[in-house]
């Protein structure tokens, strides 16, 4: 999961409430910035799949409602629902090629079924997120983002080519104007205008298209000011598990994994910028963010529209405005829903000409590709990871552009091989697992989470030091750090364990350059990373008795990372030679 850079603290934290006019103004501003952007995906899917105008209007309506509901759900935090921070939902550009294929090959019922199944799978992923932390690594995630960018770009270029053949030079002109404005503002525009880059670029491109007679305003003029879509609930919405469903199911399930880690990355970023005081990332909040997005996608599936995910615009919005208040999130969600019941406004947004949509999507996917590349590089691009990235990109791109040889297989399997997200993503995961299996094996130790396990733990760490080649000083510091973790997590000697007997698993790895220890135990309440940071900030000369183990842990370990999930705590320490 990606972790955007830390920004200065906000003016309004999530639980603080700005003045009413400020709240309303910021919420409406964000909704205006985002509305045209988030409707690009459903409009592209509807037009590229050849559905009628009534279904397009329904998809626009359903998208605004489900995105609004999802944004409201993310603001609250009731039980397992909600992130409890300002986290508006968006539609997914990554889903465009798969949603088009679902509508073309199977129709609305197939799209509904696939989105519903993938939404349930997303909720399951959220509940078992800690199990996937070593399978879907930053390298895999970044590679898949680049493959998705190539897939969306291939769809957009085909759309441009078809339009240019029919409408002449106005098509490339409108697309180029859109690309120039969004790229120019995003890279070199004033900070206050960068948030408005999507809306301004679409407006500029639409003006250029209108000059060439490519802007059809009929949908706007005939739409009422308020009400439901004229066509009502579209026919064909239902469930379908035919050949198209089984063909596209692996790609949609894999897309759910990508959504989960995209939502997780956004949640991490929002936790970093939503509070004035630095705090450890709460992965329970990450899990709830992902599962709530899954609930939002259940609604999207039932409504027959494209799935929702997270956008990065809100991070810039908080950094610029200083408003991370949940009250603003309520206003944003309400504004999206209100816009759905204003057919004239939503009709204007759904009438954006194809070349403008294509130009904006091409520019956006370029940023998406660079984001994937940045994630891969930040994870450390050693020769093995470079090979994983290179091969997976080639396989994915070859599938999307029809360059892979088509074996003599049933049509369903041939169609499956035509999805770069499936072939490239699965290639990346297989190669990553191969690198892990063939690399140095991590040593494993299991025991009760009890101080009495300390002798056995020390014996295990001595074997690990000999196997991994740690120096004597490194081995001693790893052993001392592990002891302090055990003393901190274990119940008091002679006292009853909280919630019954707890177990722990210790994984040791590394070489003579660095040692890494991962301690996995049942979920607790306190975060060691936060407590260590607080000790560093206060730097007390005479530590309190209850903090002594943390002071020693801070001394022995080069870094301490505590990931708290609903199912387990994962504490990772890294010890560098001195």
Q: Where are the domains of the chain?
A: 20-372, 443-575
What single string gives the DSSP state of each residue in 109-167?
HHHHHHHHHHHHHHHHHHHTGGGGTTTS-HHHHHHHHHHHHHHHHHHHHHHHHHHHHHH
Handedness of CA 146, 149, 155, 158 (dihedral sign): negative
Q: How far apart are CA 130 and CA 221, in angstroms?
A: 52
Q: How far apart are CA 170 and CA 112, in angstroms?
A: 36
Beta carbons of 171 and 164 less than 8 angstroms apart: yes
99, 305 Cβ separation under 8 angstroms: no
Q: How many residues are recorded in the chain?
A: 578
- Give the distance, in angstroms, between the CA of residue 318 and the centroid of all CA atoms in the same chain: 18
331 to each of 86, 312, 319, 458, how far by Cα in Å?
10, 18, 18, 55
CA-closest candidate to residue 3, choices 381, 513, 374, 514: 374
Q: Using CB atoms within 10 A of its CB, is residue 284 exposed (0-12), middle (13-18) or buried (19+)?
A: middle
Burial letters for 451-489: b for 16+ Cβ neighbours within 10 Å, e otherwise? eebbeebeebbeebbeebebeeebbebbbbbbbbbbbbb
What is the three-class DSSP state of 515? strand
CATH of domain 443-575: 3.30.565.10
Per-residue pLDDT of the chain (578 residues; tens, 9 = 90+): 444 444 446 778 888 888 888 888 888 878 876 777 788 889 888 888 888 888 888 898 999 999 999 999 999 887 778 888 888 998 887 788 889 888 988 889 999 999 999 999 999 988 887 777 777 677 777 787 788 778 777 777 777 776 666 667 888 888 899 889 888 887 787 776 766 777 788 889 889 988 888 887 776 777 778 878 877 777 667 788 888 888 888 888 888 887 887 787 778 777 777 887 766 667 788 888 899 999 999 999 999 899 998 866 677 677 666 788 899 999 999 999 998 998 887 777 767 787 887 887 787 777 768 777 877 887 677 788 889 899 998 888 887 777 766 666 555 455 556 667 778 888 888 898 888 777 767 889 998 888 888 999 999 999 998 888 888 888 898 898 888 888 877 776 545 555 456 788 888 988 777 888 888 887 665 555 555 555 444 444 444 444 555 666 777 777 877 777 877 788 888 888 87
d(CA 349, CA 231) in angstroms, rounded, equals 18
How far, in Å, CA of 356 to CA of 354, rounded? 5
Q: Is 227 left (phi over 0), alpha (psi -120 to 50) or beta?
A: left
DSSP 8-state class, residue 12: B
């Amino acid at each position: 999961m990606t972790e955007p850079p830390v920004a200065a603290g906000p003016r309004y934290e999530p639980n603080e409430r700005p003045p009413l006019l400020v709240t309303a103004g910021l919420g409406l501003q964000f909704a205006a910035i985002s509305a045209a952007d988030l409707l690009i995906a459903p409009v592209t899917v509807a037009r590229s799949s050849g559905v009628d105008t009534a279904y397009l209007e329904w998809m626009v309506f359903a998208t605004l409602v489900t995105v609004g509901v999802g944004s409201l759900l993310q603001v609250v935090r009731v039980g397992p629902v909600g992130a409890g921070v300002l986290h508006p939902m968006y539609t997914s550009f990554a889903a465009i090629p798969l949603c088009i294929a679902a509508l073309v090959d199977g129709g609305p019922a197939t799209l509904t079924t696939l989105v519903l199944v993938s939404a349930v799978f997303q909720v399951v992923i959220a509940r078992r997120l800690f199990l996937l932390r070593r399978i879907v690594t930053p390298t895999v995630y970044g590679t898949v983002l680049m493959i998705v960018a190539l897939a969306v770009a291939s769809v957009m270029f085909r759309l441009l080519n078809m339009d240019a053949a029919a409408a002449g030079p106005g098509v490339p002109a409108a697309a180029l104007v859109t690309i120039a404005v969004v790229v120019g503002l995003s890279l070199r525009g004033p900070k206050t205008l960068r948030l408005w880059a999507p809306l301004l670029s679409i407006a500029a491109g639409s003006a250029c298209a209108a000059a060439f007679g490519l802007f059809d305003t009929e949908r706007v003029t005939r739409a009422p000011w308020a009400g439901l879509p004229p066509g009502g609930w579209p026919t064909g919405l239902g469930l379908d598990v035919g050949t198209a469903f089984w063909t596209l199911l692996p790609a949609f399930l894999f897309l759910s994994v990508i959504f989960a880690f995209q939502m997780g990355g956004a949640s991490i970023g929002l936790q970093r910028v939503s509070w004035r005081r630095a705090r450890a990332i709460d992965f329970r909040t990450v899990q709830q963010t992902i599962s709530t997005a899954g609930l939002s996608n259940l609604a999207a599936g039932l409504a027959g529209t494209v799935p929702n995910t997270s956008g990065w615009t809100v991070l810039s919005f908080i950094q610029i405005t200083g408003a991370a208040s949940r009250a603003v999130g309520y206003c944003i969600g309400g504004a999206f829903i209100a816009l759905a019941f204003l057919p004239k406004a939503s009709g204007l947004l759904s009438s954006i000409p194809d070349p403008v949509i294509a130009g904006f999507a091409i520019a956006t996917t370029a940023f998406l590709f660079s984001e994937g590349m940045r994630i891969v590089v930040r994870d450390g691009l050693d020769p093995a990871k470079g090979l994983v990235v290179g091969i997976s990109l080639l396989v994915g791109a070859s599938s999307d552009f029809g360059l892979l040889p088509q074996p003599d297989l049933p049509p369903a399997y041939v169609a499956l091989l035509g999805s770069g997200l499936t072939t490239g993503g699965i290639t990346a995961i297989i190669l990553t697992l191969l690198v892990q299996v063939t690399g140095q094996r991590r040593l494993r130790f299991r025991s009760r989470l009890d101080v009495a396990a300390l002798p056995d733990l020390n014996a295990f760490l001595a074997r690990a030091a000999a196997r991994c080649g740690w120096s004597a000083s490194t081995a001693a510091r790893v052993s001392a750090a592990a002891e302090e973790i055990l003393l901190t997590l274990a119940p008091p000697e002679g006292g009853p364990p909280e919630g019954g007997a707890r177990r722990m698993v210790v994984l040791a790895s590394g070489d003579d350059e660095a040692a890494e220890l991962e301690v996995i135990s049942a979920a607790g309440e306190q975060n060691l990373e936060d407590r260590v940071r607080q000790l560093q900030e206060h730097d007390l000369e005479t530590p309190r008795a209850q903090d002594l183990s943390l002071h020693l842990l801070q001394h022995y370990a080069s870094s301490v990372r505590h990931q708290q999930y609903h199912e387990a705590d994962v504490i990772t320490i890294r010890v560098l030679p001195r």
